[in-house]
Structure 1
Amino acid sequence: MQSKHLRFGQGFRPALTVRKVQAAEMVLAPGDREGGPDNAHRGTDQWLFVVSGTGLAIVDGVRRRLRAGSLLVIERGERHEIRNTGRTPLRTLNMYAPPAYDDAGEPLPAARRPRATRQA
């Protein structure tokens, strides 16, 4: 078993990784954005859950409003951008299957599978 208390500080931070799934927290300040028209995960599906705040997701040109409680699935290969359109931080919990980032938050090659990391 692994567990971690998420703080939702600033920026993007992988939280826990097991063999086939990774959790990460992302916080965007008002007016900030992550991703863009050329951003896509080649070998990973991303599940994005909005913990708090409001925003906009653009996935392959389709726009979806985001608010607390929104769940969005970005399938592998879909180009995407997440924008904070509100006045408070946009806090999201992201699940990647398989894992997409190393412990420092750098993208993994599509075929690489990391070992489980232990974090408390």
Structure 2
Amino acid sequence: MQSRHLRFGKGFRPVFAVRKVQAAEMVIPPGGSEGGPDNYHRGADQWIYVVAGSGLAIVDGARRKLREGSLLVIERGERHEIRNTGHGLLKTLNFYSPPAYTDGGNPRPPGRRAARKRAG
């Protein structure tokens, strides 16, 4: 068993990974954003749960409002951006399947499955 107390400090921080799933916390300040039109995960699906705040998700051009309690799934390969449209911090808990980041927060390359999918 693994356990961590989430602190939701600044920015993005991987928490830990177990086998094929990774958890991370992300905090976006008011007016800030993460991602953009060229941001996507080649080898992982991303599940975002909004812990606090409000924002906007733009996924492959589709817009979805985010608020406390929202759950959003961004499938591998979908280009996306998360914007904080509120007055307070936008705090999210993210899950990646399979893990998408190193412990230091750097993107991992896609696994063999994703590479086969691109090649086929």
Is the TM-score greater than 0.5?
Answer: yes
Alpha-carbon displacement from aligned partner over 1:28-81 (angstroms, at most 9, x marks no partner): 000000000010000100000000000000000000000000000000000000
How far apart, in 2, do the equivalents of 1:70 and 1:10 lie?
20
- Report runs of 4+ in structure 1 exceeding 4 Å deviation: none
C-alpha deviation, 1:19, in angstroms: 1.2
Q: TM-score, normalised by structure 2?
A: 0.92
* Equivalent residue letter for 2:86: G
C-alpha deviation, 1:18, in angstroms: 1.1
- Alignment correspondent of 1:61: 61
Structure with the largest fraction of helix: 2
- Alignment correspondent of 1:92: 92
CA RMSD of aligned residues (A): 0.8
- Alignment correspondent of 2:34: 34
Aligned residues: 112
Q: Which blocks of at least 5 consecutive residues in structure 1 are unaligned?
A: 113-120
Percentage of identical aligned residues: 73
C-alpha deviation, 1:16, in angstroms: 1.1
How far apart, in 1, do the equivalents of 2:20 and 2:111 lie?
12
- Alignment correspondent of 1:12: 12
How far apart, in 1, do the equivalents of 2:68 and 2:47 lie?
14
Q: Secondary structure at the residue paired with 2:101?
A: coil
- Alignment correspondent of 1:78: 78
How far apart, in 2, do the equivalents of 1:16 and 1:111 lie?
18
Q: Secondary structure at the residue paired with 1:86?
A: coil
- Alignment correspondent of 1:117: none
How far apart, in 1, do the equivalents of 2:32 and 2:103 lie?
23
Q: Which blocks of at least 5 consecutive residues in structure 2 are unaligned?
A: 113-120
How far apart, in 1, do the equivalents of 2:70 and 2:55 lie?
10
Q: TM-score, normalised by structure 1?
A: 0.92
